Amino acid sequence: MFNFLLKISMLFCILSLLAVSYANPTDPVVKINDTTITQQTYDDYAKARMEQTRTNVMPDTRTLIDELVDRELLRQAALEQKLEQAPKFQEKIKQMQDNLLMAMVMQDYLDKHPLDDAKLKQEYDTQVTKIKMPSEYKVRHILVEKEETAKAIIAELQAGKTLAELAKSKSIDSDSANKEGDLGWVTPKTVEPEFGKALEQLKKGQYTTTPVKTKFGWHIIQIDDLREVPLPPFDNVKEKIKASLQGQQMQKYMDELKKQAKIEIIKKTEPEVSGKDKATATEKPAAEKPAAPE
């Protein structure tokens, strides 16, 4: 409970510094000893609470008031003990100020270098040309325990029987057997590696003429249909693209700041190790063999 209140309080402090004016900011909400919690404080806290819990559902008024009372009682207890004069408190204040300044300068940079929909769409179109979407396969299969059983089923398929009818009586995968072996639409990455590799070697209407081994047993696999996985629409990925590009913007900004700054590292650091040397350094020394008895 108190960890939650602490997190909310820290976020509340930041949001309070950035808050806009309210219609009736001085309306009283609750009084604790000689301190009055105003409507503005209540609204700021409610907003911070929603930010912390990442929800759009506003807690009920009494819950928020109870939490504000708890916060204020703790604040008053701290002041009574003069904890605001403690070095640790001053250090925490400095950290919060630094964090707030960093957040504000980054937001200021992004505000001065906005990304409109045209730029986001351009990045989307660029990525589309680089992406090869996987194929989806509509699959049926029969699963058995022994390779010999699988080979016998393949012989029945070659003699004219269908995988759908054999799956109902032969497959030990009861879920798909009840649906004539149907597994629905899958991609090679959503199934066992051996199963996926077999899929990529088949065409529509074909089945595996040799059994496929996975950790589940032996499979006979058939492709009923295939299609290309559609690309996600621009609107569905716009925010992800924006976040990615903003990350690139901030990296560029950091590079610019480093070029302009004079940076002197005083503390000794470990020397950089190449990939080969790093692997060697992390290898455990071989245990010494015991001496042969004389």
Q: What is the pLDDT of residues 95-132, one digit of tens each?
A: 999 999 999 999 999 999 999 999 999 999 999 888 88
pLDDT tier at 58, thresholds 50, 70, 90: confident
Eight-class DSSP state of 85: G
Give the whole-angstrom CA distance, residue 250 versus residue 106.
Answer: 7
93-124 burial, b for 16+ CB within 10 Å, e for fewer?
eeeeeeeeeeeeeeeebeeeeebeeeebeebb
Interstrand relation of 217-228 and 28-32 (parallel, antiparallel or unpaired): unpaired
What domains are defined for the chain?
2-81 (no CATH), 135-228 (3.10.50.40)
pLDDT tier at 57, thresholds 50, 70, 90: confident
Which token pair is 99?
């964090």
Each residue's pLDDT tens digit, 186-225: 999 999 999 999 999 999 999 999 999 999 999 999 999 9
Inform me whether the pLDDT recorded for 21 exceeds 50: no
pLDDT of residue 133: 81
> Which residue do the tokens 């209540």 mark?
42
What's the mean per-residue pLDDT of the chain?
86
pLDDT of residue 23: 47
pLDDT of residue 256: 96
Taking CA atoms, 203 is separated from 141, 180, 185, 209, in Å, by: 15, 20, 15, 13
pLDDT tier at 269, thresholds 50, 70, 90: confident
Paired strand residues for 226: 137
Which residue intervals of the chain are DSSP H helices? 2-18, 39-53, 61-80, 87-112, 117-130, 147-158, 163-170, 174-177, 193-200, 234-260, 275-282
pLDDT tier at 272, thresholds 50, 70, 90: low
End-to-end alpha carbon distance in the chain: 69
Inform me whether the pLDDT recorded for 80 exceeds 90: yes
Q: Does residue 68 contact residue 29 with C-beta atoms inside 8 Å?
A: yes
Provide the whole-model pTM: 0.54
pLDDT of residue 2: 46
pLDDT tier at 49, thresholds 50, 70, 90: confident
Amino acid at 276: K
State the average pLDDT over residues 283-291. Answer: 45
Each residue's pLDDT tens digit, 215-247: 999 999 999 999 988 889 999 999 999 999 999
Cβ atoms < 10 Å from Cβ of 207: 20
Give the whole-angstrom CA distance, residue 157 versus residue 102.
Answer: 68
Which token pair is 280?
């060697």
Residues sharing a CB contact under 8 Å with residue 182, sequence separation 6 or more, in sequence order: 139, 140, 164, 176, 224
Helices 2-18 and 61-80: angle between axes, nearest 10 degrees: 90
pLDDT of residue 11: 52
The residue among 150 and 276 whose pLDDT is bigger is: 150
Give the whole-angstrom CA distance, residue 186 versus residue 177.
Answer: 17
